[in-house]
Each structure stands twice: as structure tokens, then as C-alpha cells.
Amino acid sequence: MRPVARQSRRGFLKRAAALLAATGLVGRGPAAAVAADPPELPSWMKAPGAGFSPYGAPSKHEGKVTRTFARSQAGTTGSGAIRAPLEALEGTITPSGLHFERSHSGVPDIDPEQHRLLVHGMVKRPLTFSIADLLRYPMVSRVHFLECSGNSQLLYQATPPNLTAGATHGLVSCSDWTGVPLRLLLEEVGADRSAGWILAEGADAAAMSRSIPMAKALDDALLALFQNGERLRPENGYPLRLFLPGWEGNMSVKWLRRLKVVPAPIMTKDETSRYTDLQRDGTSLMFTYPMEVKSVITQPSQGITVQGAGLHQISGLAWSGNGTIKKVEVSTDGGTTWRDATLTMPVLARALTRFRLPWRWDGAAAVLKSRAIDDAGNVQPERAKFIAEHGSNAVFHYNAIAAWSVAPNGEVKHVYA
């Protein structure tokens, strides 16, 4: 054991500062500066650190970085969504524990040894596969975003939501997904390729189901087993999920247990009464699969105060379900002038792309916007144009430009501008 240090004047001042910080009488800044500035040797260098842990966890100082803005249907705990805290994250990969979740009847506790995938319908040989079976199949790994088609739906409302970037846009995340190309299993069962569609069903209490076009299944659909190198998290489909790159999230059916090759869409609840987009004339768009080109500035954004005039870095995320981000333009004057942001490499198809731009703030009121353009030529629309075209009732597939106002005191708010 180390001897107890004699109480010094410096140690007393440090404890007093810590006490004042704890009682909220002073800000964190000055107290931290006293402790860490040279020549003071920090306490964590004066004794050995903690031992090894079997599974790492974030620093205790980052405890506020959590999934946020959870909403569940009345009387339920697991029928709803919880969002990734985009404003607290950097880079492009979402930590698995912060990946957004949308579930329709909670997270099932699935025993992987009991779980089976059945592939049947218009096939030569209906087959079942265990998870152990699938782990022996040839796999591929791909970095892709996943976005709930209801992401940023609060921006359909007439007044700007008084919420953070994560709360409005956090139903998007990005992971390194590893799994078996669905095409391989369709070949093994002898699927009739003229069938056109595949019904995918999950093993949750909603038996969540969607009809998937055969063309997508044969193109780039994955039977995902791993997320960011480890097995899928339960809330993201453990032990097996369908993954359809670039398409609305609910089609990537979690806890996948059944694939039925069929001649036409089944017209499940989640492709008719939900996940169809009501237009202003009362018609509804159905089978709006790819998530449109989109971006959002995460630094600065609501809840983050810009600390004084001078040089800052604007940082944000862009993505497109229709391809690769080609360009992100940023405006700091509400859309009058635009500058190209730098895209962080590698820029991958159907993956989150990080953009950054230095910004010398003069301390006056400003409005920040970002506009993404993909390699198919799609341009993220202004909100007014988007609403004029689609109306305010569509609920899903909102992809218009988001704007943040910066007040002279540094406060950032969501605005329509």
C-alpha cells in the first residue's frame, strides 16, 4: 500500500476546486485546468492502473453518450425506436452498442443452437439451416449504413423540432457487416428465379415480415451474422438478420427465420399500412425501397455551444442508398453561398461518409446547412421544395436539407431556413 501523502497546500486547493465543481459553483473548465496543467503530475501516473477486463466498456467519463430519444407504442416497452447520438460521435462506424434500434415487438432472447432458417416456397429443395451450418458458408464483409425509413420524420412537422441531431437523425448507423450472400442459399435450394419475390420473416413476437424483390436478393443481399467483427447484437438481429444495402431498414429483417420464394408480394402490414408514403393528394407511394441521398451536420448541432469566434471545424455525415457520395456542399450563410467539404476516405457505396470543413466564425448569427450529392446525380433537396412535392403526411423517406442556426452566444438550434 502507498503511504498517505501529507496534505499539501496544492492538494487542498485541488480538493476544494473539485468540491466547488461538484456543487456546480464553478464550471468544469477551470477545475480541470488546475489538475492537469503542467508541472502537476496527474494522480493516474502515480499508481498502477486497473487490471484487464474480459469485455471493454466506454470510459466512465463518457457515460452521457447513450442511445437517446426512445419512443415506444403506448403500453409497450419494445415497440418503437431508440436513436444513435450522432452529435457525440465521429468517424463513420457506429459503435455496436450505440447503433440505432427499431423493433416491432421487443428483442427476442434467441438460443442460437435452437434457431433455424427455413428456405422454401418456389424451390426445388426446401431446406433448413442451423447457425452452425451458416457459419461454415463463404462470407463477405461490407461497410454499409442502415437507416430506418422513418428517420428525421419529425422534420415533416410545421415547426422545427427542438431536439439534437441524434434525436432527429439518429435512426441511421453504419457498421462493418459480415455474412453469407443470400444468393448462395437461393442457389442451394434451387430457387425459381422467375418467382420474383421472397417473403422474409423474423423470429420476434411480431413475426415481422417483408416481401423482398428477387433481384435485390440475388444482387447484394446478405445473411448477416457479424456486426463490427463480433456476432450481431441482440437488438440488431442476433443470431441472424437479413441485410439489404441501401434499402429502408425494416426490410433488413432481424432474427431471420424464414424465407419463402413467392410469385408476388405478400402485402404484409409493414409494406401496406406502414412504410408506405402518403402524399399530399391522398395517394400513397408503395415499395419506396432505397433511402434517398441525405446529410446532416453533427458538429456543431443543437445542444453543442460554439465556444467563441475564431476557427472551428464543421463535421457531419452524408449517405445515399442509391450509390456513393460524390460531393457534400456546406453553407454557413443559410444557403446563399456553398463550399465543398472534404470527404474522409474511403468513400464507400451505401455507407456513411464523413465530411469536414474549416469554418472561421465571426461571432455573428449564422445558419449552417449541408447538401449531399451522390454519384447517380441525386441532390439532397431544400426542405421547402421537398414539402411542396410530397406534402407533410408521408411520415417516411424524409431527406431534405437540415439547417442549424448559430446565435451570437454560440447556441445552436434546429431551424427551417
Residues that bind other proteins (CB under 8 A): 73-76, 79, 104-105, 118-120, 125-130, 133, 136-138, 181, 184-185, 187-189, 199, 201, 205-207, 209, 213, 215, 257-258, 260, 262, 264-269, 272-273, 276, 278, 280-289, 392-393
* Type of residue found at 241: R
Beta-carbon contacts of 389 under 8 Å, excluding residues fewer than 6 positions away, are: 381
Given CA atoms 413, 414, 416, 417 in this order, what sign does their dihedral have? positive
Task: Please state, in angstroms and rounded to a whole number, the distance separating the CA atoms of residues 397 and 415.
Answer: 20
Task: Please state, in angstroms and rounded to a whole number, the distance separating the CA atoms of residues 176 and 141.
Answer: 7
Of residues 199 and 372, the one with the C-beta less far from other proteins: 199
Task: Please state, in angstroms and rounded to a whole number, the distance separating the CA atoms of residues 75 and 375.
Answer: 44
Q: CB 388: neighbour CB atoms within 10 A?
A: 11
- Nearest distance in Å: CB 206, other proteins: 4
Of residues 120 and 356, the one with the C-beta less far from other proteins: 120
Per the structure block, which three cell numbers stand in for 277? 408514403
For residues 123 and 260, is the Cβ–Cβ distance under 8 A? no
- Nearest distance in Å: CB 52, other proteins: 37
Beta-carbon contacts of 153 under 8 Å, excluding residues fewer than 6 positions away, are: 395, 396, 398
Grouping H, G, I as helix, E, B as strand and the rest as coil, residue 299 is strand
- Nearest distance in Å: CB 184, other proteins: 5
For residues 318 and 325, is the Cβ–Cβ distance under 8 A? yes
- Nearest distance in Å: CB 266, other proteins: 5
Of residues 200 and 317, the one with the C-beta less far from other proteins: 200
Of residues 171 and 199, the one with the C-beta less far from other proteins: 199
Of residues 93 and 184, the one with the C-beta less far from other proteins: 184
Of residues 188 and 411, the one with the C-beta less far from other proteins: 188
Of residues 133 and 333, the one with the C-beta less far from other proteins: 133
Of residues 80 and 335, the one with the C-beta less far from other proteins: 80
Closest by Cα among 67, 34, 87 to 305: 87
Of residues 72 and 344, the one with the C-beta less far from other proteins: 72
Of residues 20 and 135, the one with the C-beta less far from other proteins: 135
- Nearest distance in Å: CB 210, other proteins: 11
Q: Are strands 116-121 and 256-262 parallel, antiparallel or unpaired?
A: parallel
* Type of residue found at 208: M
Task: Please state, in angstroms and rounded to a whole number, the distance separating the CA atoms of residues 2 and 48.
Answer: 11
- Nearest distance in Å: CB 356, other proteins: 33
Beta bridge partners of 342: 356
- Nearest distance in Å: CB 311, other proteins: 44
- Nearest distance in Å: CB 180, other proteins: 8
- Nearest distance in Å: CB 130, other proteins: 8
Length of the chain: 417
Burial class (CB in 10 A: 0-12, 13-18, 19+), 119: buried
For residues 217 and 196, is the Cβ–Cβ distance under 8 A? no
Grouping H, G, I as helix, E, B as strand and the rest as coil, residue 337 is coil
Closest by Cα among 274, 269, 233, 83 to 172: 83
- Nearest distance in Å: CB 235, other proteins: 18
